[in-house]
Amino acid sequence: MRRNVTRQILNNSVLGGAAAPRTSAQPEGYFSCTRPELLPHVPPNATRILEVGCGEGGFARTLRAARPGCKLEIVAVEACESAGANAADVVDRLLIGNAEQVELEYEDYFDCVIFADVLEHLVDPWTMLRRVRKLLRDAGTVVASIPNVQHWSVLVNLIGGRWEYAPYGIMDRTHLRFFTKSSIRDLFVSTGFTPHEISPLLSTTVRVQMAWLATVGLAGPFLARQYLVVADRNGT
């Protein structure tokens, strides 16, 4: 199927600078995550989808495979052109460029917007969410995953006087913003959304699962590597 690919060459001075670069130099697999854990949170009646930061199209493929009888229209934005090239055959329109600067002429159009590990890469995620709010229909939903800087591994390093970046994960060197569960809630509420789910995404290791059970979930803020967010657009 022939898809629509738009490349927008943008001035980095907009919004005070560009988002952290997403380049083909990232570790292998960085752009290929399929994120099946997000699938149940995309509303079943959502047919017009915007995915911001689609990478190689892994989630779009997962979504189409999970809903074979659904006529989906998927619009995607990706900053890394080489990654986006792999997504072009699975989305209906691909915009190559900085998500904070691309022109999105879809007011009151989308049923659901996906941010899978993207908001933390942006210079101004607050402005991005306000923009997205205008693109959503009245009952529109945002589904996002956001790393948790309150994770025990980060705290241990801080106690030891270390703030060390990594190629990927919570301390990904391209992250510009850092969030806890509380600040995630504030991010969405302040931009016109009602977050009705902010749930921890935990490692499946025995140690983490036992710590979760032993503390009846109270250790969640220190065990969650990410939070999964489902937020609805508030009324006008």
Tens-place pLDDT, residues 29-44: 777 788 999 999 999 9
pLDDT at site 40:
95
What are the E-state strand segments in 90-209? Answer: 93-96, 110-116, 136-147, 193-201
| Whole-number Å distance between alpha carbons of 6 and 230 | 29
Residue 217, C-beta contacts closer than 8 angstroms, at least 6 positions apart: none
pLDDT at site 75:
97
Per the CB < 8 A criterion, the answer to whether 212 and 220 are in contact is: yes
| Whole-number Å distance between alpha carbons of 170 and 168 | 7
pLDDT at site 208:
82
pLDDT at site 14:
30
Q: DSSP labels for 27-42?
A: PTTTT----GGGGGGS
In this prediction the pTM is 0.87
Residue 133, C-beta contacts closer than 8 angstroms, at least 6 positions apart: 191, 192, 193, 233, 234
Phi/psi at 151 (nearest 5 deg)? -60, 145
Give the type of residue at 33. C
Give the type of residue at 1. M
Label the pairing between strands 110-116 and 93-96: unpaired
pLDDT at site 2:
41
**C-alpha distance across the termini of the chain, in Å:** 37
Residue 217 gets the label, from left (phi > 0), alpha (psi -120 to 50) or beta, of left
Residue 190, C-beta contacts closer than 8 angstroms, at least 6 positions apart: 126
- H or E element that contains 125: helix 125-135
Please, which residues bridge with residue 166 across strands?
172
Low-confidence ranges of the chain (pLDDT < 50): 1-2, 9-18, 20
Extents of the domains making up the chain: 4-147+177-201+226-233
**pLDDT tens by residue, 103-118:** 999 999 999 999 999 9
User: Which option is the CATH number for 4-147+177-201+226-233: 3.40.50.150, 3.30.70.1140, 3.40.50.620, 3.40.1410.10?
Assistant: 3.40.50.150
The distance of Cα 94 from the centroid of its chain, to the nearest Å, equals: 16
